[in-house]
Amino acid sequence: MSKGSLDAPAKPVNSLTHEVHSEDVAPLQVLSPEGEVINPDYMPDLTDEQLKEVMYRMVFTRAWDDRAINLGRQGRLGFYAPVSGQEGTMVGSEYALTKEDFVCPGYRDMPQIVWHGLPMYQAFLYSRGHQHGGQIPEGVNVLMPQIIIGAQILHATGIAMGFKLKGEKRVAITYTGDGGSSEGDFYEGLNYAGSFKLPVIYFVQNNGYAITTPFAKQTGAQSIAHKALAAGIRGLQIDGMDVLAVIYAVQQAAAIARDGGGATLIEALTYRFRPHSMSDDATKYRTKEEEQEWSLRDPLIRFGKFLEAKGLWSDEDTARVREEAKNAVNEHIKKAEQTEKMTVAGLIDSMFENTPAHLEEQKADFQ
């Protein structure tokens, strides 16, 4: 299997102005909040159809989140981490990759793995604690959502090493938040990627809060992107409410990684419009003013304005996609609810390839 090499010589790294080299960093943007192109140099190379597809996915994801909140309140979804506000980072970063690339999500990153190919009803089953939720179909290159903050960072690092050893031009991407960037696993992963020059993208969605703890209390570093410097990998900061900036940055990072240039840490500044989870009350730690300010940077509004100006999107499109999403969610939650419940016997048999005698015996207590 080993066709690549762990010590392949590095190719020159492309230069990005928003790469971190010093104390100062300004987030990479393509669009202004009004949807005007302010940095044409960073405009990703997308056809009109592709631009519309990105918008479709963002609108769909927002409507899915709206519906999921209701399902959560009805007790039909289990644990759910809202995503509204982060559609730019979630949809854009996944869209920038190929289906052969590998996604290692945190628990909030359901949209990425669903857009990467996991059937939505399985995402719902995962939330509901059903094992079938984690039975990723063959050919879908994702891991299950990770609960231990940062553990997936190391898995992506290992997966990227596997790609490199096999000589495959594939990339692994992993997600965490501003809180996750304080974990030991975060530093260990970045450092390994630097040491082995691995094709991996560490994508940090800095939404300002680790549950309730504000970013100001999370680190003394100038930015999360700066943490790349110590690991010897590329680091850049981007405006996560600008989906075109996200796509550009991830496409660049992926191209560099495929080319043997190693890993990139991308810090995307974003905001979750909703609470951390269904049992969290964001009014206890965020002000109305702050929420208002961020709502003006809504990634759907910004990208929508851009597309409307090009005649590619309208309110009718949004209404149509929202309806489509609502129907899809309803269909998939029904399918999740109709999936046969797990059994303890089945659970026991899923612990090892061959169930040992003592576990076989323990089944008897549940029959």
Partner 1 sequence: MAQMNMIEAIKDAMRVELRRDQNVLIFGEDVGHVGGVFRATEGLQAEFGENRVFDTPLAESAIGGLAVGLGTQGFRPIAEIQFVGFIYEALDQMFVQAARLRFRSGGRYNAPIVFRTPFGGGVKAAELHTDSLEGLAIQTPGIKVIVPSNPYDAKGLLISAIRDNDPVFFMEHLNLYRAFRDEVPEGEYTVPIGKANIVREGADVTIIAYGLMVHTAKKAADELAKEGINAEIIDLRTLMPLDIETIVESLKKTNRAIVVQEAQKTSGAAAEVIAQINEKAILHLEAPVLRVAGPDTVYPFAQIEDTWLPTPARIVKAAKQVLEF
Residues that bind partner 1 (CB under 8 A): 1-2, 4-7, 104, 131-136, 143-144, 148, 151, 153-163, 165-166, 172, 184-185, 188-189, 191-192, 195, 347, 350-353, 356-359
> Could you give the CA distance from residue 247 to residue 71 in angstroms, rounded to a whole number?
31
Q: What is the C-alpha radius of gyration for the chain, rounded to an integer number of angstroms?
A: 21
Q: Which is nearer to partner 1, 192 or 294 (CB)?
A: 192
Q: Which is nearer to partner 1, 35 or 162 (CB)?
A: 162
**Quick one: CA dihedral 215, 216, 217, 223, positive or negative?**
positive
Cβ neighbours around 69 below 10 Å, total: 17
> Could you give the CA distance from residue 96 to residue 75 in angstroms, rounded to a whole number?
34
List the structure tokens of 344.
């303890």
Closest CA to 119 of 101, 140, 93, 97: 140
Cβ contacts of 300 within 8 Å, gap of 6 or more: 55, 58, 59, 62, 87
Q: How far is the CB of 133 from partner 1 (least distance, A)?
A: 8
List the structure tokens of 79.
């644990």
Q: Which is nearer to partner 1, 14 or 98 (CB)?
A: 98
Strand 213-214 vs strand 209-210: parallel, antiparallel, or unpaired?
antiparallel
82: helix, coil or strand? coil
Instruction: For residue 276, indicate whether it is catalytic.
Output: yes
Q: How far is the CB of 114 from partner 1 (least distance, A)?
A: 16
- What are all long-range contacts of 333-337, with beta carbons under 8 Å and residues at least 24 apart? 333/71, 333/76, 333/77, 333/121, 333/124, 335/121, 336/121, 336/122, 336/124, 336/125, 336/128, 336/130, 337/76
Q: How far is the CB of 97 from partner 1 (least distance, A)?
A: 17
> Could you give the CA distance from residue 25 to residue 297 in angstroms, rounded to a whole number?
20
Q: Are 272 and 280 in contact (CB under 8 A)?
A: no
Q: How far is the CB of 363 from partner 1 (least distance, A)?
A: 14
List the structure tokens of 352.
């090892």
Q: How far is the CB of 174 from partner 1 (least distance, A)?
A: 10
Among 128, 276, 286, 302, the one annotated catalytic: 276
Q: Which is nearer to partner 1, 149 or 329 (CB)?
A: 149
Q: Which is nearer to partner 1, 40 or 139 (CB)?
A: 139
Q: Which is nearer to partner 1, 54 or 143 (CB)?
A: 143
List the structure tokens of 59.
């609108």
Q: How far is the CB of 142 from partner 1 (least distance, A)?
A: 10
Among 57, 130, 226, 272, the one annotated catalytic: 272
Among 76, 187, 285, 322, the one annotated catalytic: 285
Q: Which is nearer to partner 1, 32 or 191 (CB)?
A: 191
Q: How far is the CB of 140 from partner 1 (least distance, A)?
A: 9
Closest CA to 64 of 355, 358, 243, 325: 325
Instruction: Please list the active-site residues.
Output: 272, 276, 285
